[in-house]
């Protein structure tokens, strides 16, 4: 599984990370060129990435000084005090009010003019993923439970007809 994943990840080498977004527990990382396509039901033109990695597994972005943002940050309040009012956070439906969304937005905005680039990518024997970015940053996706469901998937955003590369506890497959 490790070798198969790493062969697929070679597509990301040299590509910029230009966005990270979240909807409920799903997060997606956008890599490559920004491609303008009509995507919405309203007929609006939106920017999409060449490649996406989607996951509902645990993940974090770390830098030289430690963790910048992590998936579980969505359960904490934004601002200086992560515990202030965190019991009332509606992290699923109200994007932007929690620590995860706040930190993702700041991180992406910081590198918007000069995006971080994929330097290397590796996998472990269990389907975990490590994407090394320029500037000493790393995206890590790792399994957080013993349920044998999907860990993450990678696909081309523009070509809807192409299959997705899906990693589960049972291995990597094309769907």
b/e for 124-157, b at 16 or more Cβ within 10 A?
A: eeebbbebbbeeebbbbbbbeeeeeebbbbbbbb
Report pLDDT for 126: 87
CB 88 within 8 A of CB 133: no
pLDDT at 160 over 70: no
Report pLDDT for 157: 81
CB 96 within 8 A of CB 69: no
Q: How far apart are CA 32 and CA 103, in angstroms?
A: 22
pTM of the predicted structure, to 2 decimals: 0.88
Q: What is the mean pLDDT of residues 149-158?
A: 89
pLDDT at 152 over 80: yes
Report pLDDT for 30: 95
Q: For residue range 95-126, what is the model confidence (pLDDT) as tens digits?
A: 667 899 999 999 999 999 999 999 999 999 88
Q: Residue 133: which of 9, 3, 21, 48 has the closest Cα?
A: 9
Q: For residue range 10-56, what is the model confidence (pLDDT) as tens digits?
A: 999 999 999 998 888 899 999 998 887 755 667 777 778 899 999 99
Q: What is the mean pLDDT of residues 63-68?
A: 97
């Amino acid at each position: 599984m490790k070798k198969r994943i790493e062969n697929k990840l070679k597509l990301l080498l040299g590509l910029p990370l230009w966005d990270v977004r979240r909807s409920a527990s799903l997060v997606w990382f956008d890599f490559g060129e920004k491609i303008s396509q009509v995507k919405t039901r309203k007929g609006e033109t939106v920017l999409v990435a060449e490649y996406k990695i989607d996951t509902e597994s645990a993940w974090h972005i770390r830098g030289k000084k430690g963790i910048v943002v992590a998936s579980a940050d969505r359960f904490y309040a934004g601002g200086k005090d992560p515990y202030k009012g965190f019991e009332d956070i509606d992290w699923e439906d109200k994007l932007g009010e929690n620590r995860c969304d706040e930190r993702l937005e700041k991180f992406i905005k910081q590198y918007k003019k000069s995006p971080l680039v994929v330097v290397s990518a590796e996998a472990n024997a269990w389907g975990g993923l490590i994407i090394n970015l320029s500037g000493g940053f790393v995206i890590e996706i790792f399994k957080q439970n013993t349920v044998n469901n999907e860990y993450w998937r990678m696909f081309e955003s523009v070509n809807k007809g192409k299959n997705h590369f899906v990693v589960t506890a049972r291995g990597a497959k094309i769907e």
